[in-house]
């Protein structure tokens, strides 16, 4: 599910239009689901990240799943 409009703007404003991990302020910012469940759009489950950090977060999540943690 894609998050659009007012909800996306609220997340961007909360993050001050910066990646919440590295502080990047590039043009492309992505909404990341912390629990990796794209259907869980609870605001506490969402964060704004740059593409690099988004990729890294998914790598960490994949490794956790593979290790059973």
User: How confident is the model at residue 62, as a pLDDT?
Assistant: 77
Q: What is the DSSP string of 9-50?
A: HHHHHHTTTS-TTT----S--EEEETTS-TT---GGGEEEE-
* pLDDT over 90, % of the chain: 65
How many domains does one find in the chain? 1
Residue 49 CB neighbour total at 10 angstroms: 22
Is pLDDT of 42 > 70? yes
Average pLDDT, the chain: 88
Tokens read off for 10 = 């609220």
d(CA 48, CA 17): 8
- pTM listed for this prediction: 0.81
Mean pLDDT confidence for 36-51: 93
Helices and strands of the chain, counted as H and E runs: 2, 2
User: How confident is the model at residue 15, as a pLDDT?
Assistant: 95
User: How confident is the model at residue 67, as a pLDDT?
Assistant: 75
Domain residues for the domain of 54 are 5-67
d(CA 40, CA 20): 19
């Amino acid at each position: 599910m894609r998050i659009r409009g007012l909800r996306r703007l609220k997340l961007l404003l909360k993050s001050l239009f910066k990646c919440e991990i590295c502080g990047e302020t590039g043009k492309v910012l992505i909404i990341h689901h912390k629990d990796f469940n794209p259907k869980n759009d609870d605001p506490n489950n969402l964060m704004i990240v740059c593409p690099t950090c988004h990729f890294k977060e998914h790598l960490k999540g994949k490794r956790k799943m593979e290790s059973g943690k």
